[in-house]
Structure formats: structure tokens, C-alpha cells
Amino acid sequence: MNHWPRRRVVVTGIGLVSPLGIGSQATWDGLMAGKSGVGPVTRFDTSEYNTRIAGEVQGFDPSLYIPKKEIKKSDTFIHYCMAASQFAMQDSGLVVDDSNRERVGVIVGSGIGGLPIIEATHKVLLERGPSRVTPFFIPAQIVNLAAGQVSIHYGAQGPNSAPATACTTGLHAVGDAFRQIQLGFADAMISGGTESVLVPLAFAGFNSMRALSTRNDEPEKASRPWDKDRDGFVLSEGAGILVLEELEGAKARGAEIYAEILGYGMSADAYHISAPDPEGGGAARVMKATLADAGVAPEQISYINAHGTSTGLGDLAEVKAVKRVFKEHAYKLAVSSTKSSTGHLLGAAGGLEAGLLAMALQQQVMPATINLDTPDPEADLDFIPHTPRQTPFEYALTNSFGFGGTNGALIMRRFDG
């Protein structure tokens, strides 16, 4: 595909809703303070569940972002997306009007979609009959209605889609949006991921897989990537939305630029429905593909925002992949997992982490891996334990990996004008 003329793509707006806070600044401040967004579940009685903790978004009022009469017509993952999209658009200053609406698109995905309303509506069906099921049930819960609602709200008529690639969803959405602009199909894109599945069915399902941490007495310490005492990931919720623009258009309107996106890659493990390739083959291939797409040498990368979920297999597979790709340079670059603070937002994780990476490049600070008290002996890289690191760096990479062996990575560069 190198025969295509490639345009430069930059991040001009970031909107985050996370367990650390509502808004990108609140989330960033919590991250820099080394806080954890994980606590006891308050949405339902967890007494019969092995896991009783989660990364809940606290204090969210959907009526601040959606007309009250519309709230019940969409599930929570769409509410979070609408809020994060408004934050990102306000941050970017981009205005969609008749002059540009056909060149502004939306790619926002969700790993699971409206599981809460599916669970609640099934109960209505069983207890009250089919006539009592709301006519808004289907559009309230299907994955693509997050992107659909955003496009309707802003009148954005350009490319529109909704990846549903498990925990890689948010990154794939940003990468796909990057490609739309890079290859000239759009001038600006609203992109990212959103998720909210903190309901009994999700907890029961993930617990039956033994995927979730059961550190119920110390929830703030439950997400601990690469620590030898890690015991699973922490289920979280939220949204991460970025506004991407073609560089010259962004500069022409005087937009503030966080970072430039240089490369995007995808790969498959082709190994197992939920477990990663233990040797990190797919993860290594996606990082190599992204480096090649960006035209960046491995030695130029200074920092990796890792997938780092706090699972035994996944954490070490990613370490092996980094060593395969970066060889001796693996011991010179820094790696951290912001999931140690936020928990795992599933389909929203990649959007959130892409936003955090762009902010990190702008602020020239590498986020920490909190709770890394005793590193697993097989995890011997520089994981920035406990405290963020203020240091100059130019090139950085972020990884996302999902069930089914689907992988994605992005490379960004500090923008210096």
C-alpha cells in the first residue's frame, strides 16, 4: 500500500471517561497521582460472586450530555461515548458544518455493547411478556449505535463504522480512523472505544473463566501487571475518544496538537479463543508491522504503553514479544501499564490508552505501573514502578490485544510544530 500518497495525521482532541475521573484532565491527574480507580462494586449485590471489585465510573450524570428524554433509549456504553465525544470535540475546537460534514467521520467501537440492557430486558420479557419490551431495545444495545449516535449528534457524514474486536476495539478504531485520514478518505475523524458491562452476567462469565482478580479486600491493589502476586484483571468501564485531523487542516485552523500518529498495525495470534500465544508471536508481529508502517526503527522507540492486563499468561507473553522485536534495546526502553490504575476497560481500553499516550507525549512524562511491588522474575524490563517519569522522549508505542488473538498497535511521535 505504499503507492498511496500518505497524509500526516495528528491528535487534536481527547475525551476520557474512566474510573479515575470524568474528563481527560481528571483521568490524567489521577494517573499522575498514582491513584487506583478500583473499588467495591456498588451496582449489584456481589455476595455470591468470587470477584466483588471493579473499576466503576463514579458520579456520572448522563443528563449533562444527553437530553433526559433520550437517556432510556440507549445503554450506558453509549452515554459514556457521548460524554467522551463531547469532551474531545470541545477540546479540539473542531466544528462540523455544511462546509466539512462529508469529510468528518466517526469510528467508535465496543467490545460487548449493551449487555446491561440485554440482561434487564430479558428479565422484563420473562416476567412481563413480549409486549412490554421497549421498542428502543435493539438500537439501545447494538455496538454500532455509539458511532451512530455521535454521527447524528454532530451531523458527521463521512466514514462511519464500529469495530468489535474485544479488548483491541478502541485501538483498532483509532487506527482505522487514522488510515481514513492518511489515505485521503476523510479530513477529520472522531474515534475510540466505549464499554460498560459491570453487571452480574459479565462477572459470572469472567469469573467462570477465572480471569478476574479476587483481591476483594484490597481493591486498589488488585490490578498489578507483571507483579508476581497478580491474580487476574480488574473489570472496568468508561470511554476513550480522540479527534484526529489531517495535519495541514489542523494547523490552518490553529488547533492545539497533542501528538502525531505515525503508524498502525494489526495481526492475529491464530492460537486460542481467549489465551494469548505464550511466546508472544502475534504481539511481536503487530509491533513489527507498526514499526514498518511508521518507518521507525526499533531503537527510536523510548516508551511502550503496554496492554499489561495483570494476567499471568498475558503479561509475560507481551514481555517476550517486546524482547523479540526490540532485542537489546528492550532493556533501554521504558514500559508501563496504565491498567494498573484504571483496571481493564475492555473495548474502551485502547481508546483510553491512545489518549493517555498522546497526553504523555505532550507532557513529556511516562505514566507509572502502580502496585508493582515484586516483579515476576520473568518480567525484567523497565516497568516504571510506582512513580511517573518526567523525561524527554519522542517516539512511543501502544499495544492492545484481544480474545480470539486479535492484536493492534499504534506509534505516535511528540509534535514539535
What's the rounded Cα separation, in Å, for the pair 411 and 172?
A: 13
User: For the chain, how many structural domains are there in total?
Assistant: 2
* Phi, psi of 242, rounded to the nearest 5 degrees: -120, 145
pLDDT in tens, the chain (417 residues): 445 679 999 999 999 999 999 999 999 999 999 999 999 999 999 999 999 999 999 999 999 999 999 999 999 999 999 999 999 999 999 999 999 999 999 999 999 999 999 999 999 999 999 999 999 999 999 999 999 999 999 999 999 999 999 999 999 999 999 999 999 999 999 999 999 999 999 999 999 999 999 999 999 999 999 999 999 999 999 999 999 999 999 999 999 999 999 999 999 999 999 999 999 999 999 999 999 999 999 999 999 999 999 999 999 999 999 999 999 999 999 999 999 999 999 999 999 999 999 999 999 999 999 999 999 999 999 999 999 999 999 999 999 999 999 999 999 999 998
Is residue 256 within 8 Å of residue 296, measured between CB atoms?
A: no
In a domain, residue 387? The reply is yes
In a domain, residue 338? The reply is yes
In a domain, residue 258? The reply is no
3-state secondary structure (DSSP) of residue 104: strand
| 3-state per-residue secondary structure call for 344-370 | ECHHHHHHHHHHHHHHHHHHCEECCEC
244 and 276, same domain (yes or no): no
In a domain, residue 313? The reply is yes
The residue among 252, 286, 319 that closes a domain is 252
Helices (H), 131-253: 137-141, 145-154, 169-182, 200-208, 247-252
185 and 276, same domain (yes or no): no
| Mutual angle of helices 349-363 and 169-182, in 10-degree steps | 60
Looking at the DSSP bridge assignments, the partners of residue 10 are: 245, 260
* Phi, psi of 266, rounded to the nearest 5 degrees: -140, 150
In a domain, residue 2? The reply is no
In a domain, residue 57? The reply is yes
Q: Which of 79, 81, 172, 344 is catalytic?
A: 344
CATH at 312: 3.40.47.10
Domain that holds residue 392: 265-414
Is residue 350 within 8 Å of residue 167, measured between CB atoms?
A: yes
Whether 344 is catalytic is: yes
Whether 329 is catalytic is: no
Whether 307 is catalytic is: yes
In a domain, residue 212? The reply is yes
Cell of residue 44, nine digits: 449489584
In a domain, residue 231? The reply is yes
286 and 174, same domain (yes or no): no
276 and 248, same domain (yes or no): no
The residue among 252, 277, 293 that closes a domain is 252
274 and 152, same domain (yes or no): no
244 and 285, same domain (yes or no): no
Q: Which of 167, 272, 329, 386 is catalytic?
A: 167
372 and 308, same domain (yes or no): yes
74 and 168, same domain (yes or no): yes
168 and 291, same domain (yes or no): no
63 and 115, same domain (yes or no): yes
What's the rounded Cα separation, in Å, for the pair 97 and 187?
A: 13
Q: Is 166 left (phi over 0), alpha (psi -120 to 50) or beta?
A: left
What's the rounded Cα separation, in Å, for the pair 401 and 309?
A: 10
C-alpha angle 91-194-288 in degrees, rounded to nearest 5: 90
The residue among 229, 252, 275 that closes a domain is 252
231 and 273, same domain (yes or no): no
284 and 374, same domain (yes or no): yes
* Phi, psi of 263, rounded to the nearest 5 degrees: -155, 155
**Residues of the chain by 3-state class (helix, strand, coil), percent to 5:** 40, 20, 40
CA 311 from chain centre, in angstroms, equals 17
